[in-house]
Structures are given as structure tokens and as C-alpha cells.
Amino acid sequence: MRGLSVFLLRSFLCLLVSHPGDAARANEDGDGIYIVYMGTVSLGKSASGIEPTELLKSIQRKDNAVVHSYWRSFSGFAAHLSMKEARLIAQKPGVVSVFPDRLLQLHTTRSWDFLNYQTDLLIDSRPTSNSDSPPSQESSDTIIGLLDSGIWPEADSFRDEGMGPVPSRWKGVCMAGDSFSSSNCNRKLIGARFYKSDFSTADAVDQSPRDRLGHGTHVASTAAGKPVSGTSYYGIAAGTAKGGSPGSRIAAYRVCLTTGCRSSAILAAFDDAIADGVDVLSVSLGASASSGLDLRADPIAIGAFHAAQHGILVVCSAGNDGPNPGSVVNAAPWILTVAASTIDRDFESDVVLEGNKVIKGEAINFSPLDKTPVYTLIDGKSAKKRDADALMARNCNPNTMDELMVKGSIVLCYNDDGGYREKNKMEEVKSLGGIGMISVNDEGRSAASIYKSLPVTVVTSDDAAKILAYINLNSTRTSVGTILVTTTVENYKPAPVMAYFSSRGPSSLTRNILKPDVTAPGVDILAAWIGNDTKGTPGKGTPAFSVLSGTSMSCPHVSGIAAVVKSRNPSWDPSAIRSAIMTTATQTNNLKSPITTHTGSVAAAYEYGSGQVNPAVSLNPGLVYETNASDYLNFLCYYGYSITDIKTIAGNASDGFSCPADSNADLISNMNYPSIAVSGFDGKGSRTITRTLTNVAGNQETPYAVSIDAPKGLAVKVIPEKLVFGRDGEKQSYLVLFSASSPVKDDLLGSLTWSNGKYSVRSPFVVSSSKH
């Protein structure tokens, strides 16, 4: 695609029709909603000087076709257009891209204690440490903006006791809406916006910053919630809930409704948040891995680019399409992309068989069953209807089991046909009179789901084999068992473990940037919840806190850390903060062994990027990799953008800039990024990469020496092998030479680390024979 002319690329994007279920569907003459992106903005106009209204007039469209206008931080608009009209606008000077308004999806306590405990382990086990002290809880004026489903302002996590006046630089607003007034904001929640929708009747009557889903409230309290003691989810996960930066202010931008998150609203929120004055933007949503969005049609990549231009770090979830390789999203190099991993807590709901034989399961349920094994235990296959398929019955699929056999029983149900979701199976067992279900799911065993209406637990396939053997052994009498109510197990080992759902690299955007960047807790996270949850557990009322899993939950952990780093180092730009978080990450679990995947195999950079975030150590990294505006503009050149489009996108920042004459995708590897990725290397010859480090630790005397962890078959040489920094802010560059003694077939992963006895600065690398 990069070989196409700009005109052909624009035309191709404009011909794209939204996926089924997208409200932006259009034909040649009928209306859909399209986004017209026109680059940077100056005095309300795009860099080309063209006003959006002029474009609409040029195709005989009226101003009332506009759904959203972007003019505060970048230029463009979303409007009702036909496909034909979208094509016409795409050809106009000053237009970077035109694309359909797609639906994106949300990527959906003790976690902070666990991260700080891991820091203590590192201090004990590593010869070098960057840690001065744990993250401070003092008040700061750092502002975290969250693009999500809104916020529940009454939650205790958003109290403002002890906080000073709202920072004078804040330019945002607290929008009134349905069940929400400006008085709902305070010195903690300093801003709230929502974006009107005309896509569905249900959403049209719910115009407010108020969170109706719970997701936005959950992530906001994870990032910056005030400490709240005595919290739990109906007694589970009890303790003190707190955010990563409890002294930071919160600004909520509601872009997600019950139907999803509109691209047009996401861009509007970026436009506002940049102008409002946020310091960090937390975005726990994105496209699916299968969407294949190009940068020109990705609202998050576009908005984040302009945020970076204005000194704002954008932190995004990596996606929940794992464990498939190549599934990571939000992978633009100006975004900090976060994978998800577990903490040292397990929600155990055991199965008990005759003889008090215990099979460990995981789930959140409030089982009313007796603790002794007195209930009939069967498997779905043995309860199959006479004319049903045995495999479908084994999986407890609808209309496959006999009601008389299921009624009053606990049913063992497999999940190996991919036909129905676990929820469908649970509803089937319940509708047939079953009193409990044991779900067999190796992946689901590592992240607890919440079951409200039926006692359910999840076991591994190995443990399921033991249960099935017990059932089959008792051919002459009834097998019995029970499911126990959930208990919380702390100090669980090993942890962290990479979550099975966490999206993996390599990036489909380009293999020459390693993504994801880091991992953070994203499994079984307790955080604040909405106050009108009518779907709570029957008889237990509305929970003030709830438990969720997803890269949506890992993202705000890193946003909170970034806010603390920013407050400690206010002069740092977004790339320095990102570098501090990445180069100080750890690859070790609480057994002092390598972090593993959910299958038990050793995890690597495609799973966790640089490793698990390390809050205390990231405050003082010693050295950082700074990625400047020229790096990002060069990236656009290498990626295939024309100089005309780059100047439209970047505006004054591109004055005097021109693309290198030999621009090609291989040069992306030379971007001054904290990790290194090289593609298209077949093992012939060598590949040389450059990097530059900046001293941020004040005046230093002790030189840094490099150590290399290289995989078999790959030779790695660093020149020079020592770096000496004197004054604060001094920069030193080095070369990395990759060569191989034989053809490269698989991805080769390793790392290089600069250390001087006090600071340790690690960069993972991956060398691949695959192209770009």
C-alpha cells in the first residue's frame, strides 16, 4: 500500500465501507458519516489555510451536515457525506485523509502494592538500582485525561479532600448533561465532557459525562483514585483501593456509549483534551486486530500525534486479541502501548469431590451450595439427548442435553468447539435446572470471571480429566461434588504472568518498532464502580467497587505512573517519560524467575515489550532516549507519507523539514526509541542501528558499560562499549551492529543494558527476517 500514490491511497480509504453493525454505512448517494482530517491547526484553520466549511460548500453541502468540528488542536470535521462526496473531498488540497466513522471498542487495589513489592524484590536481587524511594502520594498538579465511557463522580475515589485549587493553566469545562451538573466536578475531578451522538435512540437520550457502563469509572480510579480503605467486591479482594497517582487531577472525556466508541467522538476528545491542558492521556480502547487500520484512518494514532506535538504523553491499551501473534494495536511510535499481566492474587473457587478431594478452580461466585459434596455431578456428554451430537453435548451447547439428567446437577462443560460462549453454556445449564457448572478452560483459568446467577468455577483441562475420571469411575452409583464460594488468595505465585488475552507483537503497522512497550497489572483489578448497577449480584445491592480484567485495566496503571514521573520531572517531554518507564521495567516474577506466559513458557518482548513496569525505579532512570519531532516526521517519510501531507499534518513544526532522499521502511529502525526492532534481515552482511542517550541524573563521573544478552546465532556488537556523561542533559550516541553466521529464519530476541553501578538502562531488541 505504501507504493500507491497519495491520491490512490485516499481514494481507497474513501471506498472503504464500515463493517457490519457500523452506523457509518453508506452507498454512492446515501449518507454515512465520514471523518475529514486536515492536519494541524492555526487560528481555526488548517495548515493549508482552508476552512472545513469551505470544503462542504465546494460540494454543495450545508454546514448542518457536520457532526463534530476539530479546530482547537488540529483541523478537520466529521460530517454526513455520501461516498461520492467523500471521494471528492479527499482530492481537495489540504486534506490528509478521509475515512468512515467506525466503532472502536473498550479493551476490557492490590495491584499497586504488588508493583511496589516487586520493586523491593528487585532492590534485593539486582546489583544496580535506580530507586530512590517509592512513588510519592503527595498532591500534584498533574492532570490525567481519560477517553472512556465517562465517570461516576460520587465515587469515593474522586473525593477532593486535601487538594489545592485547580491549576490555573486548566482550560477545560465540566459539562452539564442528563443527571450531571457542573457541581459534580471538584478539585479532584476538574473536567468532564461528553460528545453528542445521533446514531441510536438509546444513546441519543443519554447525553451526559455520567458513566453508564462502569468502565470509565474503573480506569479513572485505577490511574488516579484517592485511597479508599475497607473496599472489596462483596467481601472479595478486601483492602485499600488507590490509584497510581492519587494526587493527580482527573478530566473525563466520555467517548464510549453502549454501542461502542465512535472515531469521530474520539478525535473530538483529543482535540479538546489537548487544548484543555492535560499532561497525560489514558486511552483504554481501540480497533480490533483484524481491522487493519492504516495510520491515516486511525483516530487514536492521529489524535495521539498531535498530543505528542503539544507535550502530552498518550498511554494506550495493546488490545485483547491475544494470545494470537501480531494482534497488538495502538502501535504508533508516539504512543506508549501497554500489555496486561497478573498480580499476586487469585480468586479461588474449588470443586470438592467425595473423600474431600479438592480440585482448584478460579472464578468469582457466591455459591449457596453446601461445602460438602452432596450434589449429583455429571458431564455434558453423558447428559446428551438421544439425537444430539456428542461433541456439542460435551460442550453443553444449547439444545444438546437432556433436562431430566441436568436438573439438580452440577455439570462439567468443555470449551473446545468454539461454538458458544461460556455465558451461553451457563444459561443453558441453568435453564435445564442445573445447580452449578464446572467450565473447562485453560485460558479462562488465569483470569476470574464474575458469575452472579449460578455457581460456576473454571478449571484446567488437566484437572477436568481428573473430575471426568471420577465421574466415569462411579458407573454403578451417583457421583457427587460441590462448588465452593470464592476465597481470595494473596501472595500467589508465580506473578506476574502474561494474561492470555493480552495482544502480542509483532506490530502489523511496522515490524521496525517493537510493540507492546511494557506490561502492567490487568487481571482481576479492583477499582471504583458506578452507583446504579442494576445487574449486581441478586440480594447483595450495588457494589461500590468491582473487579475487571483486560488491557483496559493495565493502561491506567501506566498512566498513573507516567503522571508521577511527570510531577517529579516537570521539564521532561513525553518521550523521556516513556523511556524512563520502559528502560527500568523488570522481566522477573515474584519467584525471582523469568516472567512466563499463561502456558508456563518464558515470556519475551512480543508479549511484554520491555517488561513489567517498575513505579519507583522509573522516577530516576539515569539516562533516557529522547524521541524528538524530527524523528516522528522522518517516520512519516519512511512509512510512505508525502512531504505535502507531512507539512499539512505538522504545520510550523515542519518548517525547513524535508524527507531524506533514501526514505524507506528499514530506516524506521533508527528512530531513537527505547527498544530496537530490525526486520527484513536474512543474515547476509550486517545491519547497523544508531541510538542516542541523554543524561538526566545530574553531573556524573562513573562511566556506563554495556552488557549484551544475545540469542544463539546472532552476533551483536556495540560501539563504543563505554559511555561517559559529565553534565546533566549531555547526550552520547552509540552504534549497534547485528550480524549472523547463518540465515535468519526465526525472530531473534535479546537485550542490551547500560549500567554504571547505580543506574541500569535496558533496551530489548528483536531481529527478524520478515519484511517490515
| Catalytic residue IDs | 148, 215, 552
> Measured between alpha carbons, how far is 125 from 128 in angstroms, rounded to an integer?
9
Q: How far is CA 508 from CA 293, 604, 646, 766, in A?
A: 10, 18, 22, 15
The helix-helix angle for 299-309 and 263-276 (nearest 10°) equals: 10
Grid-cell match 556524573, residue found:
700
Distances (CA, A) of 173 to 164, 184, 191: 18, 12, 5
CA–chain centroid gap for 463, Å, is 32
CA dihedral 66, 68, 69, 74 (to 10 degrees): -140
Q: Which amino acid is at 683?
A: G
Angle, helices 299-309 vs 629-639, to 10°: value is 150
**C-beta of residue 617 within 8 angstroms of C-beta of residue 623:** no
Q: How far apart, in Å, are the Cα atoms of 663 and each of 633, 637, 642, 670?
A: 11, 6, 11, 12
Cell of 87: 471521494
Task: Count other C-beta atoms under 10 Å from residue 245's C-beta.
Answer: 29
Look up residue 493 and give its three cell numbers: 505465585
Largest Cα separation within the chain, whole Å, is 86
Q: Find how far residue 565's CA is from the centre of its chain.
A: 19
Instruction: Label residue 139 exposed, middle or buried (CB < 10 Å: 0-12, 13-18, 19+).
Output: middle
Nearest to 453 by CA among 478, 469, 429: 429
Spatial contact of 233 and 243, defined as CB atoms under 8 Å apart: no
Cα–Cα distance, 175 to 302 (Å, whole number): 25
Query: C-alpha distances in angstroms, 312 versus 282, 453, 604, 620?
Result: 10, 44, 29, 20
Q: Write a three-state SS string for 349-384.
A: CCEEEHHHEEECCECECCCCCCCCCCEEEEECHHHE
Residue 272 half-sphere exposure, CB side, CA atoms within 13 Å? 25
Three-class HEC string of 746-770? CCEEEEEEEECCCCEEEEEEEECCC
Buried b vs exposed e over 24-54: b needs ≥16 C-beta within 10 Å? Answer: bbbeeeebbbbbbbbbbbeeebbbbebbbee
Burial track 170-189 (b if 16+ CB lie within 10 A, e otherwise): bebebbbbeebeeebbbbbb
CA distances from 284 to 213, 217, 387 (A): 14, 12, 46
Q: Which three cell numbers stand for residue 88?
A: 471528492
Pure H helices in 225-349: 263-276, 299-309
The number of angstroms, rounded, from the C-alpha of 372 to the middle of its chain's C-alpha atoms is 42
- What is the DSSP secondary-structure string of 571-621? T--HHHHHHHHHHT-B-B-TTSSB-B-TTSSBP-HHHHTT-B--HHHHT--
CA distance 427 to 430: 5
